[in-house]
Structure 1
Amino acid sequence: MAWTLLTGLGEAVLRLLIHPFFYLGLVLILLQYRRQIQLERKLFHVRLHYLFIEAWHLLLWGTAAGLGVSLVMGLLGAAVTAEAVLLLWGISLVLILFRIRFLCMAYAAGILGVVRCILDWVPGGSGSEAFGWLYRWMDRVDVPGLLALAGVLHLAEALLVRTQGSRSASPLFYDSKRGKPVGGYHMYGFWPLALFLLVPVSGGGGFELPWSPVFGSELATGGWTVMAMPVVLGFTERTLSRLPKEKARRSAGFLMAYALAVTGMALLAHWVAVLLLPAALLTIALHELLIWFSGWEESKRAPLFVHGLQGLKILAVLPGSPAAELGIEAGETIEKINGVRVRTREELHGAFQINPAFCRMEILNLEGQTKFVSRAVFAGDHHQLGVLLCPDDDARYIVEERRRVSLLSVLLQAFGGLQEKKGSKSA
């Protein structure tokens, strides 16, 4: 059995290497990261992230997450038949014509659960000439198993967001509710996962397992085989009121709760068939609730990245810069430079010129306490020692966001771009 399993795994790896969707997912992810880096450079004229480093991290963590999901689903069983794959992709392709965020297995699996229940309620529907094929296909689909796979994938996503969600966060300028520019972060993460799933086989040709997986055992009349399945996990968040690490921890906590709830409902629906419809509907509804709650919570909180009476608020710190070496962090406030209070960018630049070879700063930290940092200034250092400030009224560009993002708008590159602020000064 071990040799057969290894042989099947090797064949699955080879099939994955020639799978077009695997490479398509990688290309789309890299294009998204590249576009985000271009936005940063246009706003701040510096590079905060490097494409090669980001690509290395997403491949490393995506591989680890894929292996973890594969091990968990090896115990639970992945009832992913050919019919299930076709139905999932067909539903997803229709959904993303309306919203690109619907490209999530939770929505497609939930809709399949609703369809399964409707077909069970229609008397004599299996003999219909028009929909007979759908009944035959649905007989080869274990919907609770698909819901469980969606739950485990969201569990992996929660762990990735918790550990990696803040590292690729991009500082950007947004319009506030009052029409004034404020600082914020666009948090995003996309990870390609290569899943190696134990799937049921009908008609022979598979191998037997020494354990009985929870899902799909009734479909495995011919044993089991290993199937490679490329999946892309991703999340996007916008925060104006929290630091990226805090927002990532909070989002990961909600995702974790959602993943455990979906997996638990899938197990209950597997054991009690009448619970399939509530499980399918709740899988969709809870996912929508997560998205709505995140936006509602942000709208109720005051923006964090705005300048105040105490000084200039720091939006971000360049990695490896003098400011990073001094321990300066995003969210802190610059009160004085070289003994001079600073409230505007002009005062900041003037204070730096008092002593071009040395800089002494008074910083109000995140706990509300003043700390003192100092450093010699060398040729080639960033003109603000690597500190990126929140926008003021003279900010030229702000991020244009669109809530309803369809596949067409993405293809037309109409999402997440920069628009020139009306009445701004030319840079």
Structure 2
Amino acid sequence: MDLVVEGLRGFGRLFLHPLTYFFIMVAYFVGLARVKRERKHFHVRIFDFILELKYLFFPGLLIGLVLSVITLLLGTYLSIGTIVVIGVITFLLSGPFTFRWLSPAFVLGFAVIAALLIPEGGLGTGLIAELVMEAKNMHLPSIVIILALLLVAEGFLIWKYGHKGTSPAMVTSKRGQQVGAHFAQKLWVVPLFVLIPGDAIKAVWSWWPVLTVNDTTFSLFLVPFAIGFSQRIKGMLPIHSISITGKRVLGLGLFIALASVAVFFYPFVSIFIVAIAIFIRELITIQQRMTDDNAPVFFSKRDSGLVILGIIPTSPAEKMALQVGEVITKVNGIPVSHVSSFYEALQANNRAYCKLEVIDENGEIRFAQRALYDNEHHELGIIFVQHHQKRESEVEVG
């Protein structure tokens, strides 16, 4: 019962941790940058600036609770110096416009590399020297176990939640043309309870919980780990491309989890496992980019119909259940192939009614229809890509 109570208190203290507010700040500014890009490309905001904040703590808190039980049962522990180094690496990898490097493979992997680069004599004096030496002597098997668990969490989060709220954008193709693409930007906070050897924390805060395991004293500490994800997609639907990435990262996490069994018998292999995790995680990103660059552009002008590049939330288009990647071939029975003809057909015949003939991702024809209210025929909330021969490509909003 004491552990349960302290666990609940620990989650409450999560919002006293400086890294938590740093993650909120980073997600906020990434959201502002995304809104600025959307307005520049489309002259309209697709998602509000708090989109990234909506996913910051969910489902990361629940996943962190499950992983904390596993880490405590396995007896993994981190020193204060190790936690400080992980925090510094996290801060350095948190770029102003992307979550590209906030994978556990890079954060924990670079923390291990930093520890290996610390000279035997240490650095600094006093408290700094003590923390540096603790980082130098970090418990590598515990790092590998936590790395494996967080990689599994990363793969699951990307697979199940990475495709939600992808932001449409304009990019330049290999032929120098402006084509449609989608950007996925996610940051999840996964808080883990870890054991810290000794009772140094209790010496500062007398109320801090202390455990004794096999005559060894440990303090219970909550560390907010950040898992970031960033991916550009232009060669297929975002949900399919991101799902592939998530499953690959999940596979990497399971592989590292199996390999981590070896560290209980041969601790020195921890360094090789961490290096493999860094290499394969980066390889997954490179492979996705190369595959996407070599694939035919999915969001581009077609000879027949208009490809839906984006849907504005709460718009009539969303209420009509239109989906990104679907192709609108007819409006009110009139074939369309340009945004201008879409507008004209939308106002033809009965202006208070809209009937769209749509080809879904399976190549099947379906119809989407609804009554239109004042001004809605100009504001359905559909983002199209419209090309012009003698001027810079534009994006039209239908």
Task: Name the TM tier (shorter chain).
Answer: 0.7 to 0.9
Quick check: 1:273 aligned with 2:267? yes
Quick check: 1:110 aligned with 2:109? yes
Shift of 1:182: 0.9
> What SS does the corresponding residue of 2:159 show, helix, strand or coil?
helix
Task: Give TM-score, length-normalised by structure 1.
Answer: 0.77
Letter of the 1:270 partner, please give it.
F
Letter of the 1:285 partner, please give it.
F
* Aligned equivalent of 1:255, options 249, 261, 265: 249
Provide the residue aligned with 1:379 in structure 2.
Answer: 374
Provide the residue aligned with 1:31 in structure 2.
Answer: 29
Cα 1:271/1:46, change in 2 over 3 Å:
same
Provide the residue aligned with 1:166 in structure 2.
Answer: 163
User: CA–CA distance in 2 between the matches of 1:14 and 1:326?
Assistant: 42
> What SS does the corresponding residue of 2:347 show, helix, strand or coil?
helix
Cα 1:135/1:368, change in 2 over 3 Å:
closer
Letter of the 1:32 partner, please give it.
V
* Aligned equivalent of 2:144, options 133, 144, 147: 147
Provide the residue aligned with 1:208 in structure 2.
Answer: 212
More off after superposition, 66-75 vs 308-317: 66-75
Q: Identical aligned pairs, as a percentage?
A: 23
Cα 1:72/1:186, change in 2 over 3 Å:
same
Within a 5 Å distance, the mapping from 1:5-154 to structure 2 comes to: 5-6=3-4, 8-9=6-7, 12-13=10-11, 15-51=13-49, 55-90=53-88, 101-111=100-110, 113=112, 136-137=133-134, 140-154=137-151
Shift of 1:247: 2.0
Shift of 1:285: 0.9
User: CA–CA distance in 1 between the matches of 2:82 and 2:11?
Assistant: 21
Tell me the number of residue pairs that the alignment of Structure 1 and Structure 2 aligns: 384
Q: CA RMSD in A?
A: 3.6
* Aligned equivalent of 1:180, options 177, 180, 191: 177
Q: Do the aligned partners of 1:84 and 1:141 also contact (CA within 8 Å) in 2?
A: yes
User: CA–CA distance in 2 between the matches of 1:180 and 1:300?
Assistant: 15
Letter of the 1:26 partner, please give it.
I
Shift of 1:178: 0.7
Q: Do the aligned partners of 1:181 and 1:395 also contact (CA within 8 Å) in 2?
A: no
Letter of the 2:300 partner, please give it.
V
Provide the residue aligned with 1:409 in structure 2.
Answer: none
Letter of the 1:167 partner, please give it.
K
User: CA–CA distance in 2 between the matches of 1:324 and 1:100?
Assistant: 28
Letter of the 2:358 partner, please give it.
I
Q: Do the aligned partners of 2:99 and 2:229 also contact (CA within 8 Å) in 1?
A: no
Provide the residue aligned with 1:312 in structure 2.
Answer: 306
Query: Which deviations, in whole Å up to 9, do the C-alpha atoms of 1:271-299 show, x marking residues without a partner?
Result: 22342332122121112111111111111
User: CA–CA distance in 1 between the matches of 2:374 and 2:316?
Assistant: 12
Shift of 1:200: 3.2
> What SS does the corresponding residue of 2:273 show, helix, strand or coil?
helix
Shift of 1:360: 2.7
Provide the residue aligned with 1:233 in structure 2.
Answer: 227
5+ long unaligned stretches in structure 1: 120-124, 210-219, 397-420
Provide the residue aligned with 1:347 in structure 2.
Answer: 341
Quick check: 1:361 aligned with 2:351? no
Letter of the 1:224 partner, please give it.
F
Provide the residue aligned with 2:206 in structure 1.
Answer: none
